[in-house]
């Protein structure tokens, strides 16, 4: 393709940045107008005019370095390599401390790898030295390996020290980013440059090939590795290649003979694959337990304990905890021992175990459950000050948890599971408050979302916000949720970041159909969020579809029963129709379960037949005891997540604590 070279204005005589002399003094409103017009042209593919307009941004505006970067983007889209490179160099030479400087230097280095490798090498080494923790530094390691490899590509003999340096660059990249954008290139380049590769390095390569879906190549490379260290990866590859007997054999053999040579996480992955390939989960767990003697045994024991009858749980979890008191599953085991004591009425020992749990595992996922139940123990003994303190501590320390919701009900003396059916929806906005002239705010106003994302660094909430603005609600919420989970001391309910974790989407339709069916609208919002993260095209492996994840057969039954007049299954991917059917289905469950929302939410996930069996087979004194004993771990967690979502929507958008 013939290059279209961009004409550079003669106005560079007056200003090296490409703007006219008059543009140096343009008012802020004019600068914003020019910048917005340039962004619009760029979005429409009018790159030539966008390139020109970005040059009009005044030198004195804090938008200038970003405009230069956008000019480079325009040049790239026009296949004008010379102008693209010039803009990158202009940016990092004149704005060395700008957030886009490192990226511009990296992109410039990429363009120079083949034509000016010495200059590219200089750029990459600068990035590694000055921004060592960035992804650009990691990618620079790869390119330094490529540059060194290219330097000796025509040499008859490559010195061993050079080969070692090349391998070190590629190895460093694969160790840090096995699924990175350049990882597969690193594998291929490494294989080209050397045949003297260690078994450990081949294992790195095989893992990357697996992660990229190159299963046959991964299998081929894996044959050059140590069988004692490769078996968990071999399980994954065999499963991906649908060699299921081999995957199961490798898991059994590895647990029996080679568990000490691989990581615990990789063993857990292998066990999970084995279970998915087995007809009976409980029999599969027993089979593997009979073989395992090292790593993975505690995970298998925890799975076994989840599936034993309630009367046997205490003994099972006691065995697990006594054998692995500091293991990965010890906090969960101790919390289950604690609850078993509560359930049996041994409140004195339950209290001791609960306090021991909070002392040993204060930040574990099971800590809010233990704290809440310690409150219930104190309440049973009429110790007002103690149970009030426990409930308040749950709300203060774990404000977004299911147990904060239950504690609020206790403190408020509410008998039912629902607090209110009212919320005051507020829009998702930029998650931080900045000073008026902050560049982030400026870019937000101008809707230059990609640049906001770029200069935000590792801030999960800004990345979440950009995804939200692009309409990618599922990934927006996942990103915000992961960011919030990393914050030990949670912000107050008014913090704007919470809206990204719990956005109000499709609420008009949800509220409308909740009203028609007698459902609680915020609860339906929380249920919809949990089912699909507001992805109208979501579809499970089993075939559940749309926002409220309805099975076609179930939807068809509800459609006929309530005479909704919809076409199933195509209508399930229509948000309006899916919400309508989902609400009528929930109302059907609720009407058959005496109007109990806890039971209805459980039935929505586990099925009404299962729910009715649990209610007759389990012994419980109240809702809390029932939820803790739900036999299906997935359904028990689902109930907690939905009501935690309901609680968060209420507290964030309606002022409850």
> Helix or strand or coil: residue 550?
strand
Distance (Å, whole) CA 86 – CA 275: 57
**Contact assessment for residue 183 and residue 177, using Cβ atoms and an 8 Å cutoff:** yes
d(CA 614, CA 626): 9
pLDDT at 20 > cutoff 60 = no
Which pLDDT value is given to residue 24? 59
| pLDDT at position 21 over 90 | no
Average the pLDDT over 547-551 and give the result: 97
pLDDT at 5: 46
Active site residues: 531
**What pLDDT is attached to residue 657?**
57
- 458-486: per-residue pLDDT in tens? 899 999 999 999 899 999 999 999 999 99
How many CB atoms within 10 Å of residue 58? 22
Cβ-count burial of 129 within 10 angstroms (0-12 exposed, 13-18 middle, 19+ buried)?
exposed
Is residue 435 over pLDDT 80?
A: no
Does 3 score more than 60 pLDDT? no
pLDDT, one tens digit per residue, over 55-101 is 999 999 999 999 999 999 999 999 999 999 999 999 999 999 999 99
3-state secondary structure of 313: helix
Residue-level pLDDT at 158: 84
Q: Which fold has domain 10-193?
A: 1.25.40
**Residue 383 pLDDT more than 70?**
yes
Ordered DSSP codes for 323-381:
H-TTSTTHHHHHHHHHHHHHHHT-HHHHHHHHHHHHHH-TTSTTHHHHHHHHHHHHHHT
Average pLDDT of every residue of the chain: 93
Is pLDDT above 60 for 17?
no
pLDDT band at 544 (very low <50, low <70, confident <90, very high): very high
Query: For the ranges 76-85, 139-148, 155-164, 340-349, which has the lowest average pLDDT?
Result: 155-164
| Mean pLDDT computed over 369-393 | 96
CB 291 within 8 A of CB 252: yes
Is the pLDDT score of 448 beyond 80?
yes
Please give the Cα distance from 631 to 621 (Å, whole number): 17
11 pLDDT exceeds 70?
Answer: no
Residue whose token pair is 């609600």: 473
| Confidence category of residue 457, pLDDT binned at 50, 70, 90 | confident
Partners of 539 in the β-ladder? 545
How many CB atoms are located within 10 Å of the residue 195 CB?
A: 7
Instruction: Say if residues 66 and 99 touch (Cβ distance below 8 Å).
Output: no
Give the DSSP H or E segment for 126. Answer: helix 117-130
Q: What is the CATH code of the structural domain delimited by 507-654?
A: 1.10.530.10
- Write out the two tokens for 375: 């409150």
Task: Categorize the per-residue pLDDT at 656 as very low, low, confident or very high, splitting at 50, 70 and 90.
Answer: low
User: Residue 426's closest CA among 225, 262, 578, 654?
Assistant: 654
pLDDT band for position 415 (50/70/90)? Answer: confident
Cis amide prior to 569 (ω within 30 degrees): yes
CA dist., res. 266 & res. 248, Å (int)? 15
Confidence tier at 453 by pLDDT (50, 70, 90): confident
- Report CA torsion sign: 523, 529, 532, 537: positive
pLDDT (tens digit per residue) in 300-359: 999 999 988 888 999 999 999 999 999 999 999 999 999 999 999 999 999 999 999 999
User: How far is 477 from 502, CA to CA, in rounded Å?
Assistant: 7
Beta bridge partners of 189: none
Domain ranges of the chain: 10-193, 439-501, 507-654
Q: Measured between alpha carbons, how far is 390 from 385 in angstroms, rounded to an integer?
A: 9
Residue 213's pLDDT is 97
Asked if domains 10-193 and 507-654 share a fold, the reply is no
Tokens of 243: 């060699």
Band of residue 25 on the pLDDT scale cut at 50, 70, 90 = low
Q: Residue 512 has what pLDDT? A: 98
Give the C-alpha distances (Å, rounded to integers) separating 3 from 50, 80, 85, 111, 282: 18, 6, 14, 15, 65
Q: For the chain, state the CA radius of gyration.
A: 30
The residue with tokens 């991964």 is: 218
Residue environment code for 561-576, b if the CB has 16+ CB neighbours within 10 A, otherwise e: ebeeebebbebbebbe
Of 168, 47, 101, 657, residue with least CA distance to 397: 657
Q: What is the pTM of this model?
A: 0.89
pLDDT band, very low/low/confident/very high, at 436 (cuts 50, 70, 90): low
pLDDT at 636 over 90: yes
CA atoms within 13 A on the CB side of 491: 15
């Amino acid at each position: 393709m013939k290059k279209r070279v961009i004409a550079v204005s003669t106005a560079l005589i007056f200003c090296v940045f490409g703007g006219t002399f008059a543009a140096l003094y343009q008012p802020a409103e004019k600068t914003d107008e020019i910048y917005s017009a340039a962004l619009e042209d760029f979005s429409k593919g009018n790159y030539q005019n966008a390139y020109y307009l970005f040059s009009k941004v005044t030198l004195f505006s804090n938008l200038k370095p970003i405009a230069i970067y956008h000019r480079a983007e325009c040049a790239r889209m026009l296949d004008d390599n010379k102008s693209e490179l010039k803009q990158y160099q202009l940016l990092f030479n004149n704005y060395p401390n700008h957030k886009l400087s490192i990226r511009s230097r990296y992109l410039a280095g990429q363009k120079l790898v083949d034509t000016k490798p010495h200059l590219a090498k200089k750029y990459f080494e600068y990035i590694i030295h000055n921004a060592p923790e960035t992804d650009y530094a990691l990618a620079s390691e790869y390119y330094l390996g490529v540059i060194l490899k290219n330097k000796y590509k025509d040499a008859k003999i490559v010195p061993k020290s050079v080969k070692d340096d090349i391998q070190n660059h590629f190895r460093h990249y694969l160790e840090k980013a096995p699924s990175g954008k350049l990882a597969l290139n690193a594998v291929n380049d490494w294989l080209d440059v050397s045949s003297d590769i260690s078994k450990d390095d081949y294992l790195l390569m095989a893992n990357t090939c697996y992660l990229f879906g190159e299963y046959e190549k991964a299998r081929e490379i894996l044959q050059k590795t140590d069988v004692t260290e490769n078996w968990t990866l071999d399980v994954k590859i065999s499963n991906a290649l649908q060699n299921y007997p081999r995957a199961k054999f490798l898991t059994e053999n590895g647990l029996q003979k080679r568990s000490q040579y691989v990581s615990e996480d990789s063993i857990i992955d292998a066990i999970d694959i084995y279970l998915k390939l087995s007809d009976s989960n409980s029999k599969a767990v027993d089979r593997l337990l009979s073989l395992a003697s090292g790593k993975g045994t505690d995970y298998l024991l925890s799975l076994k304990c989840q599936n034993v009858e309630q009367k046997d749980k205490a003994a099972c979890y006691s065995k697990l905890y006594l054998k692995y008191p500091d293991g990965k599953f010890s906090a969960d085991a101790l919390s289950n021992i604690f609850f078993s004591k509560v359930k049996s009425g041994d409140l004195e020992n339950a209290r001791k175990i609960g306090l021991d749990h909070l002392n040993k595992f204060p930040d574990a996922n099971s800590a809010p459950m233990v704290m809440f139940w310690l409150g219930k123990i104190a309440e049973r003994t009429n110790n007002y000050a103690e149970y009030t303190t426990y409930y308040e501590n749950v709300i203060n320390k774990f404000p977004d948890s299911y147990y904060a919701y239950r504690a609020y009900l206790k403190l408020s003396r509410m008998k039912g599971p629902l607090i209110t059916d009212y919320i005051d929806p507020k829009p998702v906005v930029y998650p931080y408050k900045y000073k008026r002239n902050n560049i982030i705010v400026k870019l937000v106003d101008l809707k230059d979302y990609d640049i906001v994302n770029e200069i935000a660094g590792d801030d999960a909430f800004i990345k979440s916000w950009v995804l939200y603005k692009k309409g990618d609600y599922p990934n927006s919420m996942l990103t915000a949720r992961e960011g919030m989970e990393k914050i030990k001391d949670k912000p107050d309910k008014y913090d704007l970041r919470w809206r990204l974790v719990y956005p109000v989407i499709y609420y008009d339709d949800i509220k409308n159909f909740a009203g028609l069916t007698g459902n609680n609208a915020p609860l339906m919002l929380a249920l919809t969020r949990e089912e699909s993260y507001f992805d109208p095209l979501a579809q499970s492996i089993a075939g559940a579809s749309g926002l409220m994840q309805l099975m076609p057969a179930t939807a068809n039954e509800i459609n006929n029963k309530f005479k909704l007049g919809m076409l199933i299954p195509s209508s399930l991917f229509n948000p309006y129709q899916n919400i309508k059917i989902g609400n009528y289905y929930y109302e059907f469950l609720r009407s058959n379960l005496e109007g109990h929302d806890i039971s209805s939410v459980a039935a929505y996930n586990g099925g009404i037949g299962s729910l009715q069996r649990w209610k007759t087979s389990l012994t419980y004194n109240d809702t809390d005891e029932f939820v803790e004993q739900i036999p299906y771990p997935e359904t028990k967690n689902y109930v907690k997540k939905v009501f935690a979502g309901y609680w968060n929507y209420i507290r964030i958008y309606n002022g409850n604590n």
